[in-house]
Amino acid sequence: MTDNLLADLTQVLQNAQAGPVLGVRLRDWRAAVFRTQIIMLGIKNNIGGSVYTPPSYKNSESAEIFLVWDDGKCSRAKLQKPSESNGYHWKRELEFWRMASFEDPFAVRIPHPAKLPEVAVASDEIRSIIEGADRTAFDHQEKILSSRPREAQTGANITALWGKNSIYTSTGINIDYEESRYTVSWSFDSLIARGYAKRRLITGHEWQDIWNESASRYEIFKKQAEPVGQNTCVILSPSVVEQMTEQYILPNFSGENIFEGQSKFTLEDFRQKRKVFYEGISLEIDPLRPYHWSSYLLTPEGVPASRTILASQGSLHSPYLNTKYALRWETSPTAIPYGGGGIKITQEQQVSWAQMLKEIDDGVLVLSVLGLHTQNPVTGSFSLAVPSGLRIKNGCLAGGVNVRISGNYWEILQSPDLVCGTSDLDNSPYFLTGCRCENI
Amino acid sequence: MDSGKIREIVKDIAGQPYPGYVIMRAQARREITIKLCNGKIENVFTGNESGMGVQAFTANGASGFSSANTIDRKMAEELVQKATALARESERIGCELNQQIFSFPPHYDALPNGVQYPFDQFTPQELQDMLAFIHDQLKKIHLADTGIAWQTSYKQIEDYWCIGRTDGTLVSFFIPRAVLLHQGTVRQGDAGQSFSVHLSGVDAGILLQEKRDGLLYRQAVDKANFISKVRTADQIPSGSYPIIIDYGLAKGLAHEAFGHAVESDLAEESVLSQNGKLQIGLMVSNHGVDITDGSLKGDWAYQPYSANGEKRENVTIVEDGILKQGLGDVFSAEKAGMAMTGAGRAESYGSIPLPRMTNIRLVTKKHIPLPESETLENELRNMRDVLIREGLLEIGHHYVLVGYRGGQVNIKTGDFVFQCDGAVNIADPALTVYRPGIFSGKILSVLGSVRLSTGQERYDAIGTCGKAGQSIPSSGGGSGYIFIEKNEHIRLGGNESDR
């Protein structure tokens, strides 16, 4: 045995193919090994490096395995490098995995090697930060502290991640690849929050645009605006739209939930391409966008990244399917969305956010909501408190307002009155909706 | 690696003399999760994870943190060096200095596991068989007009923690947890609603118990019938009403509306603080209302020592309506004007501990007995009779909210929300069921409207609390159903049809 988790693990699994474990040989296997290094910095109550947010370094190496035994049973486990890597340890582990095996005839397919897409998911600049050769993260912390609004209680988090991953299978997939992530987020008085999350560093222009937007919104929020009225329209900000995508779209487009009767939609809905949204609305998983947070090269199952259309021109197209549910669906596995930001929502008639704002006479921009995770994802109904809402009057942001909103997510997407507003600063669009708001 | 070896490593590394101060945490975790869906096994997942985290302080109190998912001496030494280097760098650029822990006395303890059935008592196959039997019982549940999709999951965890400090502190303890959960989805056409019932404990004994007495099965039957009515019910028109909340919602109320607002690290911005100090002595409710937080042995959120090695205290947050104490940890309790109660908890060895709740209870001194009932419907009928007899039933609308679905708070504004599975108007002799609307209010208003409770006290409502990106187990309950008077600052829901 060596000090290398991947080498030891693949050797152990190959041996189990040659000789039985508790009387049964291993037929096929998949191993995904993740080696991750993370640097984190933070600001709490205007102070960098507080005792709750000290500069941190985290290092981990772990693996996920999926095994298919000769009798058709399978096993799934998470493990890490053992403190003493010897034959006895691995024998015990194999026996335990075998004892924990279960029957699932649809899960036993292991993908074969296939061409990987060209997609940029690793940035050398981030590796330099992890290696200590680049002080950008510390500079960003300093930049937030020196530019923050003087009267605001400011909090912030900065994270740089560098990963070296390996996906190996008994079917011949042998992929080693690198990935990176960089996030920076801040909040003023826990009310106005903004962030950046990609697989590369934030550029100077991006920083300036995002910072200016949040700082100006904070200044406007401090002014008390007039209450909302009967005709006030509700605009959901991109971060709220993204949270709603996570709460409503992800569970209802999941192949597993559809098969198990826990989705709003049925198999038949997809087969018939049922129209469920207003024409012009499309949903897509696109993991091929360079340096996008939710882009990837291949899934941990070994399936190469590709684009998947979930809904096209208002009609259902495909759920997202891992290998197991692709087999049940009798098709190929699809792209997998990692979080709400992994799904692209587009509308044929979408406008720019700047243009949308100009045309709103009486509205409220919802920057954050409380309680979305408690809402029923199947019915789509919601009623939510809005701790940070900005009043819009005559095309301009006009001050803070405390409101509650209610409506139905599915009805928003079915409405001919929905307008999507796009901004270069955000992954998701703004939604101009007809949902209800009331003063608190 | 066994717990004795882990303890030795922590003792040797943390106990060395350093120019500053070191807190070292090691954690070893074993887990098995089994999930069944609609009669078929969906997944069996096993996992082992262990690692160490080191928070190092310079002599002046700047800190740095490092962690790795390995437990060995060499790595422990490297982590101390790395955390110390980060602490020095942080001090150089002017971070916050905090030496509070330097002056606390050391602790020395080793708590045994103490479960009836050790983690390996049953093989994964035996656990699968027991769970399949329990899951199969759900097939007997039939609703009049629709089917139910069922998921059953069982999770068994054994966490071993060992915390060492430069001052010689060495405490170790096990946190065993097990939960059996049925999740049902009732749907018809586009309308559907999910619900869950659970049983928690410390080991596989909960599976044996359920096989023996079928308590969770009966709860599943009751809840399925209730949700079936909720699915086709009208929604409560938005507004303020007199309400009664069940013990799970009482946990949610105490947790969201009060627990977070008295955590010492949040005192700078909490609505219950002034100038960064908790307003101890503030009258926050009528007399006769208490809120207490404390770790209970065998509970889902059990935490005998803080993640910094301090003994976890039982804390009376509100006593007889007066704010008495907060949840303080070693680092910020003094600054927040409260006592240190050992409140620090961490999601894992790789997380920085933060002041957190464990098991939080809302208790009223005034309590009206309620006859025991087998079903929710009978219980509500009995409650209606009791309220009529006591002259407490409101006319027109008096809603009972049933089944906690989670909540959230903004401690700066004092806004909190939580959601329930459904509501019943017990002012209506027909006990009409309603679809839920979110329950929202202001921290400083809600406790003033709590009056009394009825029915059996229960403190085993469980959940997961998220704060600063860390998820930890939480639990709690109430001294029965809690009565909340109508208050303009406490509102129920609202929907599109209200417009």
Chain A residues in contact with B187 by the CB 8 A cut-off are 261, 378
What is the sign, positive or negative, of the torsion defined by CA atoms of B297, B298, B301, B302? positive
Q: In the structure, what pLDDT confidence band is assigned to residue B440 with cuts at 50, 70 and 90?
A: confident
Whether the predicted pLDDT of B492 surpasses 90: no
Beta carbons of A54 and B68 less than 8 Å apart: no
Give A299→chain B minimum CA distance, Å: 19
Question: What does the alpha-carbon distance between residue A218 and residue A230 come to, in Å, rounded to a whole number?
Answer: 26
pLDDT at A349: 85
Whether the predicted pLDDT of B7 surpasses 80: yes
DSSP code per residue over B293-335? E---TTSTT--SB-TTSPBPPPEEEEETTEE---B--TTTTTT
Beta carbons of B350 and A138 less than 8 Å apart: no
User: If we measure between CA atoms, which residue out of A438, A361, A360 comes closest to residue A402?
Assistant: A438
Question: What does the alpha-carbon distance between residue A156 and residue A186 come to, in Å, rounded to a whole number?
Answer: 4
Question: What does the alpha-carbon distance between residue B108 and residue B310 come to, in Å, rounded to a whole number?
Answer: 10
CB atoms closer than 10 angstroms to residue B244? 27
User: If we measure between CA atoms, which residue out of A240, A232, A275, A284 comes closest to residue A429?
Assistant: A240
In 3-state terms, what secondary structure has residue A287?
coil
How distant, in Å, are the alpha carbons of A300, A371, B352, B466 from that of A58? 22, 31, 12, 20
pLDDT digits (tens, 9 = 90+) for A246-268: 999 999 999 999 998 889 999 99
Orientation of helix A87-99 relative to helix A5-18, angle to 10°: 60
pLDDT at B497: 44
pLDDT at B194: 86
Q: Number of helices (H) and strands (E), helices first, in chain A?
A: 12, 20
Buried-state track A235-266, b at ≥16 Cβ within 10 A, e below 16: bbbbbbbbbbbbbbbbbbbbbbbbbbbbbbbb
Q: Hey, of A43, A142, A183, A383, which one would you mutate to test binding to chain B, going by the most B CBs within 10 A of its CB?
A: A383
Q: How confident is the model over A119-124, as a mean pLDDT?
A: 97
Q: How confident is the model over B145-170, as a mean pLDDT?
A: 94
Tokens 């800190």 identify what position?
A: B63
Smallest Cβ distance to A78: which of B47, B352, B491? B47
pLDDT at A129: 95
- For chain A, give the percent of residues with pLDDT over 70: 98
pLDDT digits (tens, 9 = 90+) for B375-411: 999 999 999 999 999 999 999 999 999 999 888 888 8
Interface confidence (ipTM) of the complex = 0.92
What is the sign, positive or negative, of the torsion defined by CA atoms of A247, A253, A258, A263? positive
Tell me if A1 sits within 8 A of A87, measured CB to CB. Answer: yes
In 3-state terms, what secondary structure has residue A104?
coil
Whether the predicted pLDDT of B107 surpasses 70: yes
Beta carbons of B413 and A81 less than 8 Å apart: no
Whether the predicted pLDDT of A329 surpasses 90: yes
Tell me if A423 sits within 8 A of A238, measured CB to CB. Answer: yes
Q: How confident is the model over B152-158, as a mean pLDDT?
A: 97
Q: What is the CA radius of gyration of chain B?
A: 24
Q: How confident is the model over B429-453, as a mean pLDDT?
A: 89
**Greatest CA separation found in chain A?**
76
pLDDT at A298: 96
Q: In the structure, what pLDDT confidence band is assigned to residue A85 with cuts at 50, 70 and 90?
A: low
Smallest Cβ distance to B412: which of A51, A142, A189? A189
Q: How confident is the model over B417-441, as a mean pLDDT?
A: 91
Chain B residues in contact with A44 by the CB 8 A cut-off are 265
Using a 10 angstrom Cβ sphere, with 0-12 exposed, 13-18 middle and 19 or more buried, the burial of residue A106 is middle
For the domain made up of B3-231, give the CATH fold: PmbA/TldD fold (3.30.2290)
User: If we measure between CA atoms, which residue out of A63, A65, A38, A411 comes closest to residue A244?
Assistant: A411
Which residues 67-96 on chain B approach chain A with CB closer than 8 angstroms? Answer: 67-72, 82-83, 86-87, 89-90, 93-96
CB atoms closer than 10 angstroms to residue B374? 9
Whether the predicted pLDDT of A121 surpasses 60: yes
The CB-side HSE value for A65 (13 A sphere, CA atoms) comes to 30
Residue A355 tokens read as 């243009």
Smallest Cβ distance to B65: which of A56, A100, A379? A56
Q: Which amino acid is at A150?
A: R
Whether the predicted pLDDT of B19 surpasses 70: yes
Whether the predicted pLDDT of B166 surpasses 90: yes
User: If we measure between CA atoms, which residue out of B340, B348, B277, B266 comes closest to residue A50?
Assistant: B266
Give A51→chain B minimum CA distance, Å: 6
Tell me if B227 sits within 8 A of B197, measured CB to CB. Answer: no
Whether the predicted pLDDT of A440 surpasses 90: no
CA angle B360, B204, A78 (to 5 degrees): 90
CA A155 to chain centre: 22
CB atoms closer than 10 angstroms to residue B103? 8
| DSSP classification of residue A335 | -
pLDDT at B114: 86
Which residues 146-165 on chain B approach chain A with CB closer than 8 angstroms? Answer: 147, 149, 151
Q: Where are the beta strands (DSSP E) in B320-438?
A: 322-323, 344-345, 354-355, 359-364, 367-368, 399-410, 415-425, 432-434
What residue ranges do the domains of chain B occupy? 3-231, 243-498
What residue ranges do the domains of chain A occupy? 124-166+173-219, 223-440
Between A4 and A60, whose confidence is greater? A60
Which residues 224-283 on chain B approach chain A with CB closer than 8 angstroms? Answer: 235, 238, 265, 268-269
Q: How confident is the model over B53-66, as a mean pLDDT?
A: 97
How distant, in Å, are the alpha carbons of B213, B227, B421, B491 from that of B424? 28, 11, 11, 16
Distance in Å from the first CA to the final CA of chain B: 62
Q: How confident is the model over A163-183, as a mean pLDDT?
A: 97
Q: In the structure, what pLDDT confidence band is assigned to residue B330 with cuts at 50, 70 and 90?
A: very high
pLDDT at B408: 87
Buried-state track A387-398, b at ≥16 Cβ within 10 A, e below 16: bbbbbbeeeebb
Whether the predicted pLDDT of A71 surpasses 90: yes
User: If we measure between CA atoms, which residue out of A375, A274, A333 comes closest to residue A106?
Assistant: A333
Residue B94 tokens read as 């002017």
Tell me if B377 sits within 8 A of B217, measured CB to CB. Answer: no
CB atoms closer than 10 angstroms to residue A1? 15
CB atoms closer than 10 angstroms to residue B105? 8
pLDDT at B335: 96
Tell me if A173 sits within 8 A of A166, measured CB to CB. Answer: no
Kindly give the residue spans of alpha helices, DSSP state H, lying in A135-203: 136-147
Give B368→chain A minimum CA distance, Å: 31
How distant, in Å, are the alpha carbons of A219, B399, B406, B493 from that of B420? 36, 12, 8, 11
Whether the predicted pLDDT of B455 surpasses 50: yes
Q: Is B406 on the interface with A (CB under 8 A)?
A: yes
Q: Is B118 on the interface with A (CB under 8 A)?
A: no
Whether the predicted pLDDT of A17 surpasses 80: yes
Q: How confident is the model over B431-452, as a mean pLDDT?
A: 88
**CB contact set of B285 (below 8 Å; sequence gap of 6+):** B318, B321, B447, B448, B450
CB atoms closer than 10 angstroms to residue A65? 21
Size of interface A-B (CB pairs under 8 A): 250
Q: In the structure, what pLDDT confidence band is assigned to residue B439 with cuts at 50, 70 and 90?
A: confident
**Bridge partners of A60?**
A36
Tell me if A355 sits within 8 A of A421, measured CB to CB. Answer: yes
pLDDT at B499: 34
CB atoms closer than 10 angstroms to residue B213? 10
Q: What is the mean pLDDT of chain B?
A: 93
Q: Is B496 on the interface with A (CB under 8 A)?
A: yes
Question: What does the alpha-carbon distance between residue A252 and residue A110 come to, in Å, rounded to a whole number?
Answer: 26
Smallest Cβ distance to A54: which of B69, B90, B410? B90
Residue B33 tokens read as 């999760």
